Structure 1
Amino acid sequence: MQAGHQMFEGTDAHRWTSWRVLYLLAVGVALTTETRWLCPPSCHCNTSALEVNCSGVQFMTVPSGLPREAKLLNLSHNSVKTLLHQQFHTLTHLLHLDLSDNLLVLIEVEAFLGSQSLLTLRLSRNQLKIIPVGAFAGLTNLQLLDISSNQILVFLDFTFSDLAALQFFTAAYNELVFISHQAFTGLTSLQELHLDGCNLTAVPTEALTQLRVLKGLHFHRLGLTTLPNYSLHHLVHLKELIISHCPRLETLLGNSLFGLNLTSLTIKHCSLNGVPYIPLRHLVYLVYLDLSFNSITYIRGNLLGDLLRLQEFHLVSASLVCIETGAFKGLAHLKLLNVSRNLLTTLEAGAFHSVETLKSVGLDNNPLACDCRLLWLLRKRLHLDFGGRPPTCTTSVQLQGWNFLDFSEGELPNLLTCRQPRILNRKLQDVKVDQGHTVVFYCSSEGDPLPSVSWLNPQLKYVSSVGRIRTLSNGSLEVRYVQPHDSGTYFCVASNAAGNDSLPVSLHVRAFPPSSKNHFLPQGWSAFPSDSPTVNGNQKFPFDVKTLLIAATIGFVSFFSSVTVCFIFMFFWSKGKGQIKHTATIAYVPRSTMSNSNSGKGNSTEPSRFTMKLI
C-alpha cells in the first residue's frame, strides 16, 4: 500500500511539472506575439485573425506603426482626408482594407503601391470628386473595389488600368456625368459593374466595350429616357442586366438588346407602357424576366414565343387588365408567373403553352371573378405554390371573399359556371347604299362573363379596329366611304368562355353611273352635276353675260396698266441719259396707197395701218 501511494505521488509530481512547462511555453509565445504586434492606440487587434480594427476613433490621418503582418485593417468612420504616396507600403500581407465613412478628398498617385496582396478595397461614403490616373497602381490582385456614395463627376481615361484582376466594381450614388471612352481600359477580369444613382442620361456604350467578360450590369436611378439600338452589343458574355428606378425610361428601341445572351433581365420601376416585344425577341437564352412596376396594361397574344427558355415571368403592380389568349404560347418551360397586385379579373388556361409546367402562380390582390375561366386553376390549386398568398374571389357576388383553398373538389363545377353569349337584337340588317356613304352595323350581346364582340368580313377574316372598315369600342362595325367591292355578308361574333353566338348582316353598294363625255373640259376633268336640261344626251352649259363682261373688264384693265407702267419706266430711264432730244413720228398708211404701190404684183391688198417711231 505504501509503495502504491508513493507511485501515485510520483505521477502527480510529474504531471504538475509538465503543466508548468507547457504554461511557461504558452506565456513565452504570447509575450513574443504581443511584442511583435504593437497595436496602435485606440485600436483593437486580434492576433489570431491578424486583424486591426481602428473604426470610429476619429483618426485624422492613417495611424503609424501598424503591424506588418496584418491582413485586415478597418479604418472606417474616422476623419481621414488624404491618402499619401505609398501610404500602406509596409503592409505587404494586407488582404482587406476598409476606408469607408471618412472625409477623403484626395488620393495621391500610387497611394497603394506596395500593397500588392490587397483583395478588397472599400472607399464608400467619402468626399472624393475625382480619382487621379495611377491612384490604384500596384493593386495587381485587387478583386473588389467600392467607391460608391462619393461626389465623383467623371472617370478619366485609364483610371482603372492597373486593376487587371478586379472582378466586382461598384460606383453607385456618385455625381457621374461622363465616363471617358477609355476609362475602363485594363479591367480585363471584371465580372459585375454597378452604375447606380448617377447623373448619366445615356448608356456609356464606348466605355463598356472594354469590359469583354462582364457578366452583370446594374443601372439604378439613372436619367435614361430610352435604351438606344446596339447599346450593349459588345458585351457578349453579359448574363444579367438590371435597370430599375429610371422614371424617364419609356422605350427600348428594337435592337437595343441586340447581340446579348442574357439569362436574366430586370426592368422595373420605370415608365414602360407595354411589354417590349421587339427588343425581347433577340433574347433566346433568357430564363428570368421581371417587368414589374411599369404601366403595362396588356400581355398580347403570340408575341413572346421567341423566349424559348423562359422559366420565370414577373409583372407585379403593373396596371395589368388582360392577359390575352396565347400570351405565353411557345414558352414550354414556364414554371413561375407572378402577376400580383394588378387589375386582372381572370387568368385563362388558353394563355399558356401548357399549364402542366406551372409550379408557382402569384395572383393575389387582383379583382378576380371566380367563374368557369378559373376552373382549371382551382383544380390545380393543391399542386401550385401561391407564395403563401392564395388568390381571393372579389367581383363575384355569390363567391365574394372566398379563398382559393376554401373550395372543395365536389362543389367546383356547380359554383364556377359561365353563361353562353346571346346577341340581343337579331333584327335583319340588310343595307343598300350608294357608293361613298358611311354605314354602321350594330351588335350588342349579353352573357357571363361579358362576351367580347368581333366582326368577320365577307372573306371570313377578322376586322381590326383601324382602317376604313373597322370595329368600334361599343361592338359596332363601321364601313366608311363604301365601295362596290365592300358588298357582301359580314358576321358579328360574340364570344366568352362558355361559347359564342353570331349574327349575319348584309351590305349592297350601288356604284356611280359612268360619267358622260364633255368636250368643253380638259381630258381627265369631270363636270359638276347640273340641273340644266340636256339635248341628245349632251349637257348644255348656260351663257352668263355678266360673268363675261367682268372677265373682259379685268383683262383690259390689266393690259392698260402694264402698258402704262412700261411707258413710265421708259420715260424715267431716258431722262437719265443726258440731253437727248426725243422725237415721236406717227405715220398713217391708208389702204388705197398700199394697193396702188403694189399694183404690179397682183391683186393682193393690205389693210391700212399706223406706224409709230420713238427716237
Structure 2
Amino acid sequence: MFEGTAIHHWLCWGALYLLAAGLALPSETRRPCPQSCHCNTVLLEVNCSDGQLSKVPGDLPQDAKRMNLTHNNIKTLAHQQFQTLTQLLDLDLSDNLLTAIEMDAFLGLQNLLILRLARNHLKIIPAGVFTGLTHLQLLDISANEILVFLDFNFYELPALQSIKAEDNDLVFISHQAFSGLSSVKELHLDGCNLTAVPTEALTQLSVLRKLHFRRLTLTALPNYSFHHLVHLKELVISYCPRLETLSENSLFGLNLTSLTIRRCNLTAVPYIPLHHLVYLIHLDLSFNPITYIQGNMLRDLFRLEELHLIGGSLLGIEIRAFTGLTHFKLLNVSRNLLNTLEVDVFHSVDTLKTLGLDNNPLACDCRLLWVIRRRQYLDFGGESPTCTTSVQLQGWNFLDFSQSELAGLLTCRPPQILNHKPQVVKVDQGHTVVFYCNAEGDPLPSVSWLNPQQRPLSPTGRIRALSNGSLEVRYAQPEDSGTYLCVASNAAGNDSMLVSLHVRVFPSSTTNLFHLEGWFAFPSASPGVKGNQKLPFDVKTLLIAATIGLMSFFSSVSVCFIFMFLWSKTKGQIKHTATIAYVPRSTMSRSNVGKGNYMETSRFTMKLI
C-alpha cells in the first residue's frame, strides 16, 4: 500500500513537471534573448547595454516593452530596423556611434512613447526618419552634431510633447522645422550655436509651455522674439555672456509665470520688458552685473513671489523697490556688495518668508535691526548673514545677538549738516553758482535738493544736484531766483538747510553808443529787448564793419576786371565788320496814310561782325 502511494505521488509530480516544461517551452519560444543582452520576462525589459554590439540584434523578444541599447558601437539604423517590436514603449539608443538613420527606420513602433538618441554623431535628420511614431511623446536628440533643423523634420510626430535638443552644433532652424508639432509643450535648445532666437520657427509651437535657452551666443533679445507663444509659462535664458540688452518689447505677448535670465551680461534690471508680465511669480536674474534695484519700478509685477539675484554686483536696493508686491515671499541677494537692506524697500515684511543675505559686506546698524527682530520668522537658506564692515561687531552672526543687546549695539547717528549758516548769493545773469551742503552721520547720509517750488532736483540739467551733495546753477537766469532746500537724511532722521539765490538782470552798457531812429524793428533780438525799443550801435564797431564791406566790394570788382581782361586776350585779334541795310517805305503804306491806318516807316538794319 505504501509502495502504491509513493508511485501515485511520483506520477503526480512528474505530470506537474511535464506541464510546467510544456508551458515554459512556448514562452521561451516567444521571448528569445540575444546572447549579449539580459531579458526580464516579468517586466518585459531587454538590457543590451555595454554589449559591444555593432548593430541592433535581430532576435529580440517581440513582446518587449523597454529596450536599452546604450553604450554600444552601433553606427547605422537600417530601414524598418524594429518592425517586429510592435509592443515597444521605450527605446534608448544613447551613447552609440550613430552617424546615419535610414528612412522608415522606426516604422512599426506605433506604440513607442520615448525615443532617446542622445550622445551620438548625427549631423542631420533626414526627412521621413520618424515615420510611424504616431504616439511618440519624448524625443531626446541632445549632444549630437546636428547643424540644422530642416523644414518638416518632425512632421510625423503629432503626439510629441517634449524635445531635448541641447548641446548640438545648431546654426539654423528653418521656419517650418517644427511644423506639425501641435502637442509640444517643452523645448530645450541649450548649448547650440544659434546667434538669434528662431522666432519664425517657434510660431509653429502653439501650445509650448517651457522653453530653455542655455549657452547660446545671443547678443541681444530683439522685439517680439516670442510674440506667438501665448501659452508659454517658463522661459529660461542662461549662460549667454554676450547678452547685454533686452529690447523694450522683447517679451511682448508672453504670459509667463517663471522667467530666468542667469549668467548673462545685464547691467540693469530690464524693467520695461518686464512690466507687462503681470502673471510672473518667479524671477531669477542671478549672476548678472546688476548694481541697483530702483524704487517703484517693479510695481506692475503684483503677483511676484520670488526674486533671485545671487552673485551679482548689487551695491544697493532703493527704498520702495518692491512697492506693490503684496505676495512677495522670497528674496535671495546672496554674494553681492550690499552693506544694508532697509525695511522700507518692501511693501510689507509680514509676507516675507525667505531672505538670502549672506556673503555681503553688511554694516550692522539700525537699518538691519528689523532683520534680527524677525529672524525667528525668516529662513536664511541655511547660511545666516554676518556683520562685516562694523568694527565692533565684525564677524558677528545675526543669530548671535540677544534681545537685550539689540538696542545698544545696532544704532545709528542722525545726520548733521556742517557749516549750517544761511547762504545768500547775489550774481549777475549768466554766471554759474555752486552751493555746498556737507553732512555727517552714521550711516553716511544722502543729500538731496528741492527747488523753490519744492520739487526734487535731478542730477542732470542746467540746475542739478551733484553727486558730492552740492547744488550747481549754471548760466543763472532771473527766474532761477528763490530759496533752495538741502535735505540730508539717513535711517536715523534728517537735517535741512536753506540757501537763497538772487540773479540780477544783465545791465545795458551806454558808453560810445548812438541810436538809429526809424530803422527796421528786429523781433526777438534778445529776451530783454522790446519791439519798439531803440537799437544801440557802437561807432567803432560800425566803422570797422563799413571798412571791411568796402574792401570786400572793391576786391570783387577787381577780380572781375582781371578775369575779363585775361579772357579777351585768349581770343586774339578781332576784326570788326559792319553791314547797314536800308528798307524804304512801301507804296501801300503811303497810300493809306490819310485813312488812319498804320503807317510803316523806313528801317535801317545794322549787323556787326
Same fold (TM over 0.5): yes
Q: Match of 1:404, SS?
A: coil
Aligned counterpart in structure 1 of residue 301 of structure 2, from 299, 307, 316? 307
Give the length in aligned residue pairs. 570
Q: 2:451 is matched with which residue: 457, 461, 477?
A: 457
Candidates 351, 355, 360, aligned match of 1:361? 355
Distance in 1 of aligned mates of 2:502 and 2:166: 68
For residue 194 of structure 2, what is the aligned residue in structure 1? 200
> Greater CA deviation, 238-247 or 394-403?
394-403
CA 1:614–1:451: 2 relative to 1, 3 Å:
farther
Q: 1:325 to 1:542 in 2, by over 3 A?
A: closer
Query: How far off its partner does 1:10 sit?
Result: 11
- The match for 1:276 is 270
SS in 2 for 1:382: helix
Which range moves more in the overlay, 55-64 or 198-207? 55-64
Pair 1:549–1:234, CA change in 2 (3 A):
closer
2 CA distance for matches of 1:406 and 1:178? Answer: 57
Partners in 2 of 1:344 and 1:398 — Cα distance?
19
Question: Cα offset for 1:428?
Answer: 2.4
One of 89, 93, 98 as aligned partner of 2:92: 98
Tell me how far apart the structure 1 counterparts of residues 28 and 283 of structure 2 sit (CA, whole Å).
56
Residue type of the alignment partner of 2:318? E
- Distance across 2 between alignment mates of 1:146 and 1:198: 15
Letter in 1 for 2:506: F
Q: Deviations over 1:195-243 (max 9, x none)?
A: 1111111110010001010000000011111111111111111000000
Q: Are the counterparts in 1 of residues 30 and 62 from structure 2 also a CA contact under 8 Å?
A: no
* Of 499, 502, 507, the match for 1:508: 502
Q: Counterpart in 2 of 1:605?
A: none
Q: Give deviations 1:359-394, integer Å, cap 9, x for gaps.
A: 111111111111111111111101111111111111
**Pair 1:492 & 2:479 matched:** no
Aligned to 1:157: 151
Shift, 1:133, TM fit? 1.3
The residue number in structure 2 matching 1:425 is 419
Q: CA 1:551–1:41 in 2, change beyond 3 Å: closer, same or farther? A: same
Q: Cα distance, 1:564 vs. partner? A: 3.5
Q: TM-score, normalised by structure 1?
A: 0.87
Q: Helix, strand or coil for the counterpart of 2:42?
A: coil
Instruction: Decide which moves more: 125-134 or 514-523.
Output: 514-523
Q: Equivalents in 2 of 1:348, 1:482: separation in Å?
A: 38
In the alignment, residue 501 of structure 1 is paired with which amino acid? D
CA gap of 1:51–1:568, structure 2 versus 1, over 3 A, is: same
Displacement of 1:86 = 1.3
Corresponding residue to 1:338 among 332, 353, 366: 332
In structure 2, the residue matched to 1:54 is: 48
Instruction: Summarize the alignment of residues 133-172 of structure 1 with structure 2, pairs less than 5 Å apart.
Output: 133-172=127-166
Counterpart of 1:245?
239
Question: What's the CA shift string for 1:93-122, capped at 9, x where partnerless?
Answer: 111111111121111221111111111111
Matched residue, 2:379: 385
Aligned mates of 2:21, 2:407 — CA distance in 1: 82
RMSD over aligned CA atoms reads 2.8
Residues 550 and 243 of structure 1: CA distance in aligned 2, closer, same or farther (over 3 Å) = closer
| CA distance in structure 2 between the aligned counterparts of 1:491 and 1:10, rounded to whole angstroms | 122
Distance in 2 between the 1:22 and 1:333 partners?
A: 71
Letter aligned with residue 361 of structure 1 = L
Task: Give 1:562's aligned residue.
Answer: 560
Range that drifts further, 36-45 or 555-564: 555-564
Residue segments in structure 2 that go unaligned for 5+ positions in a row:
527-533, 580-606
Structure 1 residue identity aligned to 2:395: G
CA 1:554–1:507: 2 relative to 1, 3 Å: closer
Q: Distance in 2 between matches of 1:455 and 1:280?
A: 31
* CA distance, structure 1, for counterparts of residue 541 and residue 442 of structure 2: 70
**Counterpart amino acid of 2:372?**
L
Percent sequence identity over aligned pairs: 67
- Asked if 1 retains the 8 angstrom alpha-carbon contact of 2:44 and 2:63, the reply is yes
Q: What is the one-letter code of the residue matched to 2:560?
A: S
Q: Distance in 1 between matches of 2:6 and 2:476?
A: 120
Q: Indicate the residue corresponding to 2:583 in structure 1.
A: none
TM-score with structure 2 setting the length: 0.88
- Pair 1:14–1:367, CA change in 2 (3 A): farther
Seen in structure 2, the aligned counterparts of structure 1 residues 443 and 35 have a Cα distance that, compared at 3 Å, is same
From 555, 564, 581, the equivalent of 2:575 is: 581
| Matching of residue 329 in structure 1 with residue 323 in structure 2 | yes
Structure-2 residue corresponding to 1:124:
118
Matched letter for residue 367 of structure 2: R
For the residue of structure 2 that corresponds to 1:219, the secondary structure is: strand
2:285 is equivalent to residue 291 of structure 1: yes
- Inter-partner Cα distance in structure 2 for 1:543 and 1:465: 42
Q: 1:569 to 1:283 in 2, by over 3 A?
A: same
Q: Is the 8 A contact 2:280 2:304 kept in 1?
A: yes
Alignment of 1:78-117 (within 5 A): 78-117=72-111
CA deviations 1:121-173 (Å, max 9, x no partner) are 11111111111111111100000001111111111110101111011101111
Q: Which residue of 2 aligns with 1:523?
A: 522
1: CA distance, partners of 2:323 / 2:166: 39
- Paired amino acid for 1:215: R
- 1:71 and 2:65 aligned: yes
**One-letter amino acid matched to 1:432:** K
